[in-house]
Amino acid sequence: MSEAAVTAASAGSEARAHQHDSPLVGVLMGSSSDWDVMKHAVSVLRDFDVPYEARVVSAHRMPDEMFTYAEQARERGLRAIIAGAGGAAHLPGMLAAKTTVPVLGVPVASKYLKGVDSLHSIVQMPKGVPVATFAIGEAGAANAALFAVALLAGTADLYAERLAAFRLKQNEAARAMVLPAL
């Protein structure tokens, strides 16, 4: 599968509009229906000015593209892959099986089991091939992106400084909280 063909499988136009030529973080999802959750990861990466790409790569509908993406991830310079999926959410685990780039899994809420199935599918990786697993839904997607920034901060002070500033803003917001009167 050529790079162009994999790119053609990108998520919606909003995601496509912000693809970087040399991404450090890949944001993958099993379906465009995952975008409402996974866009929260993209939003954080944009806030931190992290070069990223966002694509639909379905594990069971695009297995060849998924393997190609994982096989090329390290040589393409990716430092983390955030992968979101719902139901029998095998995308993060299968990516992790084919690359040594850290995979951060985001369980997306499913129609019937509300994402508990997705969470269990992602978090219960057998020993030897880890997937860092985050909360179901928006918080998980945003936190996966923050975690990716923290990984980048290990070798780039710029990202560490941005993370520290972000934490300070949260601290100030919490300290300014006022409880309503009874």
Which CB atom, from 2 or from 13, has the smaller least distance to ligand RP5? 13
Rounded least distance, CB 30 to ligand RP5, Å? 3
For position 140 contacting ligand RP5 by CB under 6 A, the verdict is no
Rounded least distance, CB 107 to ligand RP5, Å? 9
Distance CA 153, CA 108 (A): 27
User: Which range, of 30-38, 42-50, 139-147, 158-166, touches ligand RP5 by CB under 6 A?
Assistant: 30-38
47 is in an annotated binding site: no
For position 121 contacting ligand RP5 by CB under 6 A, the verdict is no
Distance CA 103, CA 53 (A): 15
Helices (H) and strands (E) in the chain, counts: 8, 5
61 is in an annotated binding site: yes
For position 56 contacting ligand RP5 by CB under 6 A, the verdict is no
Residue with tokens 């998924």: 66
Distance CA 54, CA 7 (A): 9
- Helix (H), strand (E) at residue 17: none
* Binds ligand RP5 (CB under 6 A): choice among 26, 34, 54, 152: 34
* Binds ligand RP5 (CB under 6 A): choice among 11, 15, 24, 31: 31
For residue 162, which phi and psi values (nearest 5 degrees)? -65, -40
